[in-house]
Amino acid sequence: MTTDWRREEEERIALARLAEVRAIPVYRHARNLGYAVTRALKPILKEAGPAADTLASRWAEIVGPRLAEITQPIRVSKGKSGGTLHLRAPSAAAPMIQHAAEHILQRVNLASGSKVKTIRIVHTAAPNQVSAPRPRSLSPVEREALVRSLAQIQTPIVRKALEELGQAVLTQREPR
């Protein structure tokens, strides 16, 4: 068996140099798994578009209060040219939404960092506007009883607050 003396000499010199230069290894804490998963999935999720729940939670902030009252994001579907945002809106509001489509797309893309290219409107019936029931008026007998029951309270601010609370409770209409 032949020995390569030159190679052994180079190895010995390299080990000696390594012994001189060797530093104490720096141990870094491993990052959590969530960080690695987020980093790996970020490009894929960016192409897929934002989740409908994410858009819904920030919808008024994205499109403004006027459009947020009449529209609601349903989902974002992926297409060949980009994503499609599906909006639920009354039929009468469709022209207004189509007119503001470019603005809505810009705001959605800015807020989510995705590439949504088109809007699809899912027509619904107009929402029923149900007004809150007006409170009934307080009768003079009830008002006198309320004032008498609060007469013992010395502090005017507390008495006034309790009087307003009592008035609100007594004038509230019964739920059906």
| DSSP notation for 139-158 | PHHHHHHHHHHTTT---HHH
CA atoms of 153 and 166, how far apart (whole Å): 14
The 10s digit of each residue's pLDDT in 28-87 is 777 788 888 888 887 776 666 677 778 888 888 988 888 888 899 998 888 777 788 899
Alpha helices in 32-139 (DSSP H): 33-48, 52-57, 59-63, 65-70, 94-99, 101-112
> 108-141: string of b/e by CB count within 10 Å (b at 16+)?
bbebbebebeebebeeeeeeeeeeeeeeeebeee
pLDDT at 133: 72
Amino acid identity for residue 96 in this structure:
M
Residue with tokens 């939670």: 57
The 10s digit of each residue's pLDDT in 90-130 is 988 899 999 999 999 999 888 877 788 899 999 887 666 66
pLDDT at 51: 73
Q: Provide the whole-model pTM.
A: 0.48
CA atoms of 168 and 146, how far apart (whole Å): 11
CA atoms of 56 and 74, how far apart (whole Å): 8
pLDDT at 159: 93
H-helix or E-strand spanning residue 78: strand 72-78
CA atoms of 120 and 73, how far apart (whole Å): 10
CA atoms of 95 and 110, how far apart (whole Å): 23
97 or 131, which is more confident: 97
How buried is 4 (Cβ within 10 angstroms: 0-12 exposed, 13-18 middle, 19+ buried)? exposed
